[in-house]
Structure formats: C-alpha cells, structure tokens
Amino acid sequence: MDREDLGALFARATRRLVDAERPLLAARGLSMWDYVVLSHLAREPAGTQLALARAIGYDKTRLIGLLDALEREGFVTRTPDPADRRARIVSLTPAGATLHAAAQADVHAMEDELLAHLSPTARRRLVATLTELTSGTPDD
Amino acid sequence: MDREDLGALFARATRRLVDAERPLLAARGLSMWDYVVLSHLAREPAGTQLALARAIGYDKTRLIGLLDALEREGFVTRTPDPADRRARIVSLTPAGATLHAAAQADVHAMEDELLAHLSPTARRRLVATLTELTSGTPDD
DNA sequence: TATTGTTATACTCTATAACTATA
DNA sequence: TATAGTTATAGAGTATAACAATA
C-alpha cells in the first residue's frame, strides 16, 4: 500500500542522469537529440532518414533540421539511396565518429562517478534488469 | 567500449512506464502532473503551493492552473495559511484521496504486470538501487 | 526590501497538414 | 495510389517578467 510508484522512481533517476549529461554534451555543442542521433549512427550506420527517426523515437519532420545542422558542421552526410531515389542514407563522417566517441567518453565517466557507490555486482544487475525491461517490443 | 549508455537505458525504461501509465490516468481524467500532485499531497499533506511546486519539481506558475482545475473538480482545497496570509495550504479532499487511491491501484497493477517476468528478488533489488540512486540531493 | 500567489508574455518543443519527387 | 523527404503552420509545454497583497 505504502509502496512508491515505480514510474516516479524511474523518472527521477532519468532526470538526474539527463541533467548531468546535458552540460557535458552542450560543452561539445551537442543537444541530447544530436547525441542520440550520433549514437545510433555509430551503432547502426547507413540507414535511411525515416528508419533513423523511427529507431530513436523522434519525429521525422523534426529530424530534418537536426540533420541539416549536423551535416553543415560536417558530422554526418546524406547520400541518395541508389535503390530508392526518394530516400537518403545518413552516415557518420570520420569527424562525427570522433565527436561521438569523445562525447560518449564524457558521458560514461559521469555515469561511473554517479554509480561509484554501487557495488560492481549491483551495477551489473541494474544494467541487466534495465536491458531486460526495455527489450520487448520497441513499439514504434 | 561497446557498453550502452545508462541514460539511454533509463530513458527508454521510463518512457515505457510513462506510456503505459498515461492512458490509465487519462481514463480517470488525470494528467501525469495531476497524478504527481495528488500523490505528493497523499504523502505529505498540508503544504504551501510553493513548497508543493518545489517538492515535485514543477514551476510554481504552471501549478496554478493545474490546482485551479483540481479545485474546481473538488479534489483539492486551497486554504489561507493562518501563519502567513500570503500563502495558501493545499490539501486533498476526501474525493481527491479516493481518486488518488484508485488511480494508484491502476498504476501499481500495470507495474506488476510489466515486471511480472522479473523475479521478486530482482524486483526488490531494482527498487532498492533506484531508491539509492535518487536519494542524494533532491536538487531544487 | 523580500516573498506568495497570480497574470501576461514570449519562447521552445512537438504534432499535423500539405507539397515534391519518386515509387 | 502510396511513400521519403521537406516545408509551413498550429498547438502544447515551459520559462521569464511584472503585479498585488503580505511579511
């Protein structure tokens, strides 16, 4: 009866992580969505814009301006899909890959610090549980 | 090196929880922030508007319209603080307490279902870890 | 002078509809 | 006819400034 809502716990933990992450990314000129895009491209290169938008749960119309900026700065490229001339394949440039690696290193260092007082076992369990929780049906 | 960002994991888990929670609350005419307010009042009654806003991390100016609606529907009351006539004490009405209990029952049932494939031990550990992670410095 | 609740205003983020070029 | 990318527009959510009453 007196149990705390799981959603509230998760929301608070997420907000703390995001609040700590945002300034690190901003220091490299990246918004949170910029980072999400770079991270996804680092993991799964050579997808179409629409596939990218769906994969990260972002609106396809909003993705456009975001990619415009990243492309202008030389971090991603948009090349026409030879198989379907309507579609455009988004890829990381070497500079984009470097930027992502650096940003991710910052983020991971912050996470390590935040979870410092957790035992390695507790931490491993946490990641495993989270992964399991978020595994089924990525929805859209 | 190939490790997943913790923030991304948390954000995904939170989004899944919130997405499942929102329709349950909407069915009772509640927004997420409505529910957060009711939950806080159920736990810590008789605080001032400003204290409430700070406690739940919500803007004090946005809280006003939200309380207006909840008050109009008879779920909360605003009574002047005898000690400080500028301030107003927000409290749950019996109807508000009943509504919150019903909504929370729905939410908890959903959570139980979502975590059904987690062992009781894993689940207990998850809550403990989350609580520990969100315990220090509530910030604002 | 500072603070609580309030209002008004501006700004950001997000969602929807409509257009083009291809399929 | 439907789809990928784009643009424009409207709406929701959020932040900031200023005001009246009280401290």
Does any domain span residue A67?
A: yes
Question: Counting every residue, how long is chain A?
Answer: 140
**pLDDT at site A122:** 86
Reported as a single tens digit per residue, the pLDDT across A31-44 is 999 999 999 999 99
Contact between A107 and B15 using a beta-carbon 8 Å cutoff: no
Range of the domain at A101: 6-134
Q: Are strands B84-92 and B76-81 parallel, antiparallel or unpaired?
A: antiparallel
Does any domain span residue B39?
A: yes
Q: Is the pLDDT of residue A136 over 70?
A: no
Does any domain span residue B1?
A: no
Q: What is the CATH number of the domain that holds B127?
A: 1.10.10.10
H or E segment and range at residue B90 = strand B84-92
Does any domain span residue A139?
A: no
Does any domain span residue B116?
A: yes
H or E segment and range at residue A61 = helix A60-72
Distance CA B26 to C1' C16 in A? 22
- In SS3 terms, B15-28 reads as HHHHHHHHHHHHCC
Distance CA B66 to C1' C10 in A? 21
Picking from A107, A118, A130, the nearest residue to B9 by CB comes out as A130
CB of A123 lies under 7 Å from some atom of strand D: no
Q: Is the pLDDT of residue B12 over 60?
A: yes
Reported as a single tens digit per residue, the pLDDT across B37-91 is 999 999 998 899 999 999 999 999 999 999 999 999 999 999 999 999 999 999 9
DSSP-derived secondary structure for A9-29: HHHHHHHHHHHHHHHHHHTTT
Does any domain span residue A16?
A: yes
Instruction: Report yes or no on whether pTM surpasses 0.75.
Output: yes
Q: Which residues of A touch B125 (CB under 8 A)?
A: 122, 125, 129
Does any domain span residue A63?
A: yes
Does any domain span residue A62?
A: yes
Reported as a single tens digit per residue, the pLDDT across A55-87 is 999 999 999 999 999 999 999 999 999 999 999
Chain mean pLDDT for chain A: 91
CB of A60 lies under 7 Å from some atom of strand D: yes
Task: Please give the tally of structural domains in chain A.
Answer: 1
Contact between A39 and B8 using a beta-carbon 8 Å cutoff: yes
